[in-house]
Amino acid sequence: MLQILRSSSGGLVAKAFMILLIISFGAWGVQGYLNQASQGEMVATVGGDTITTSELAAAFARDVRRFQAQGSDLTAEQARNLGLMDLALDRLIQGRTYDAASGWLGMGISDKHIAQAIREEELFRDDSGNFSRSRFEFLIRNSGMSESQYVADLRRDMTKREIINSLAFTAGAPSVLEKRLHLYRNEKRVATITVISVDDALDVGVPDGGTIAQIHQDQAERYTAPERRSASFILLTAERAMKD
């Protein structure tokens, strides 16, 4: 969303975007379907949520107005031929996909974080470096959106980043588990073999139970391993949880 606003404030970016559109042009045939469909008819369904022709038309119209705001005489027909309609639909489908994923994962962005992101955006700051409400409203209005539409799109973009970051981040296994697995997979056995000839064996007889018990008692340290205790724990404080 912010990238779209930035493109509205720079003619070079808009021209570069036009070149990319021409290079990557690939028609889905969406525009023909849109012309034949009624304004309430759906053009796509994502996770049970529908995208109507009116939503697609509004998104397409905003894209066209952004180019026209840069001084371009781009018409709606030319924009459709360049694939702007397809890109608008792709953007709507992608947004609905992340909405469905965030709902399934129970993820969301609070109003507090949305407001903070808007205040910290350099695009909305005045010459003194402070957030400018008037500049914010001007850029939003110039992009062809209402404030509620911008907030909804920003929330979706931030949720998208959270989902992508959660997939890209791979948490390491606890060190105690790594050590155990390493010892298990790389364990070795060392055996010492002594060959005793029958001719060399002494006739020591067969010891009774009492004799064996006495030998064990006399050499208890030799047959006893010291007691050991090990523990692994995770310390999670309220302050740390709120920080993360």
In order along its 244 residues, the chain shows pLDDT tens digits of 555 555 444 444 444 444 443 343 333 344 444 444 455 588 888 878 888 888 888 888 888 887 887 777 888 888 888 888 999 898 888 888 888 888 888 888 889 999 999 999 999 999 898 999 999 999 888 877 889 888 988 988 888 888 887 777 666 777 888 888 888 888 888 889 888 777 776 777 788 888 888 888 888 888 888 888 888 877 777 777 666 5
Which three-class secondary structure state does DSSP give residue 98? helix
Structure tokens at 147: 């404030």
pLDDT value for 134: 92
DSSP one-letter code for 223: G
Q: Report the DSSP pairing between strands 49-52 and 42-46.
A: antiparallel
The pLDDT score that the predictor gives to residue 170 is 63
Phi/psi of residue 136, nearest 5 degrees: -60, -50
Q: Is 51 helix (H, G, I), strand (E, B) or coil?
A: strand
- The pair of three-digit structure tokens given for residue 237, joined into one six-digit string: 């404080």
CATH number of 2-167: 1.10.4030.10
CA distances from 164 to 101, 102, 107 (A): 11, 11, 12
Separation between Cα atoms, residue 42 and residue 44, nearest integer Å: 6
d(CA 92, CA 101): 14
Angle between helices 111-120 and 147-168 (to 10 degrees): 100
